[in-house]
Amino acid sequence: MRNIIEELTTSPIRKIANSAIDNKDVIPLWFGETDIITPSFISDSMKLALDNGHTFYTTNHGVPELVETLSQYSSNLHKKNITHDRIMITAAGMNALMMSAEALINPNDKVICITPVWPNFMRCIEIMGGKIIEIPLILSEISNTWSLNMDDIKNNIANVKGIYINSPNNPTGWMMDTKEQLEILEICRKNNVWIIADEVYERVVYDRKVAPSFLDIADENDLLLVINSFSKSWAMTGWRLGWMTIPRNTLALFEKLNEFNIASPAAPVQHAGITAIKEGEDFIKEMINKLSYSRNIAIKYLSSFSKVTLPEPTAAFYTFFKVDGVSNSEEFCMNTLLKTNVGLAPGTSFGQGGKNWVRICYAKSPELLEEAFNKLKPILD
Ligand SMILES: Cc1ncc(COP(=O)(O)O)c(C=O)c1O
């Protein structure tokens, strides 16, 4: 085995969750998914695709109607013409991230990762033999909000191959604004640095239709890969379908990579994706209403607990908070699980500096959340 693979760290969330994953008494707030089953109009469309004989290999680019549908959807959403040759179908966000790493990273290439962040792209960098430069978000004590450390980014940008930014962010709920995106784009253009923009939560926003995206401001030749997924917005985590938006004239390369990774997501799943995009807007609205309600519950409880510092989560479906007196978040989450049967995710999963932080995924029913917070109260208050 390659040493790099043996040395890869597995997620601390998994370590804790594995100890109790089959325990029905545990309230699982540790993983990043809603408890909503994929709506039946999407599932029915997959059944129909099977009945209609869509059981064969697809092209490496993806089912043409799905590519075309995403090209139109994305063009409308970002008020830019995003042509079909810039859309690459992938097996969800994870596969898009791995292909991005395969496409860009040579051994010892450095990549800036803005943390805290869902760690999987960092592991992709390591698999390719690249090196991570973590640049943590800054938490303003005055406004209690997160922002980019532009000075640190500028100081490191000349030495790196790319910068990975996930906004709306897992775990913090931070959402980058257009001004920050313009600044990053300008710095990266000057230094010939790739932007890997993980925008899988772009529709999980509460005060607008879609989060600010690098696609709003970049042009088709910028060194930009935008990662997207059906997992979160259409409640399709188990389906493994996503897409990436790539620069002009790079499609052939990604088609090659796709062939040697998975040779395309399952054909019937891609057909269901067409339906999700064409008919899914009402579902997204309904889901955001539910999430917004759950978000208010999470904020209400957490901001009332005396040991908790909670920066305002503006988007996605997580709260990331600091707990007074905790110095080992893994131990804290394990003990909390044993004492309360509530499953939390330790902050150490999301980069350095998470030792006294905890993440909760609040994409659960109000009843379950109320129960969880009442169980957590004696520990956090
Ligand atoms: C920031 C971020 N990017 C990408 C993904 C990948 O999700 P999927 O592979 O299901 O699209 C996740 C999943 O939790 C995530 O939080």
pLDDT in tens, 250-279: 999 999 999 999 999 999 999 999 999 999
Residue nearest to atom 8 of ligand 1 (CA): 93
Atom of ligand 1 nearest to the CA of 92: 11
Say whether pTM exceeds 0.95.
Answer: yes
Is residue 93 in contact with ligand 1, taking CB distance under 6 Å?
yes
- Pocket perturbation via mutation, ligand 1, pick of 121, 226, 229 by most ligand atoms within 8 A of CB: 229
CATH of 40-279, one of 3.50.50.60, 3.40.640.10, 3.40.50.2020, 3.40.50.300: 3.40.640.10
Q: What pLDDT digit, counting tens, does each position of 307-316 carry?
A: 999 999 999 9
C-alpha 329/C-alpha 335 separation (Å) is: 10
Once rounded to an integer, what is the mean pLDDT over residues 213-228? 98
Give the chain's length.
381
What's the CATH architecture for 3-38+282-380? Alpha-Beta Complex (3.90)
Domain boundaries, the chain: 3-38+282-380, 40-279
297 token code pair = 């519950």
Q: What pLDDT digit, counting tens, does each position of 77-102 carry?
A: 999 999 999 999 999 999 999 999 99
CB contact set of 22 (below 8 Å; sequence gap of 6+): none
Atom of ligand 1 nearest to the CA of 94: 9
Q: What pLDDT digit, counting tens, does each position of 5-21 carry?
A: 999 988 889 888 998 88
Q: What pLDDT digit, counting tens, does each position of 129-183 carry?
A: 999 999 999 999 899 999 999 999 999 999 999 999 999 999 999 999 999 999 9
CA–centroid distance, residue 160 to ligand 1 (Å)? 24
Q: Is 72 exposed, middle or buried (0-12, 13-18, 19+ CB in 10 A)?
A: middle
Sequential DSSP letters for 98-129 = HHHHHHHPPTT-EEEEEES--THHHHHHHHTT
Is residue 118 in contact with ligand 1, taking CB distance under 6 Å?
yes
Is residue 165 in contact with ligand 1, taking CB distance under 6 Å?
no
CA–centroid distance, residue 13 to ligand 1 (Å)? 14
Residue nearest to atom 13 of ligand 1 (CA): 32
The confidence score (pLDDT) of residue 10 equals 85
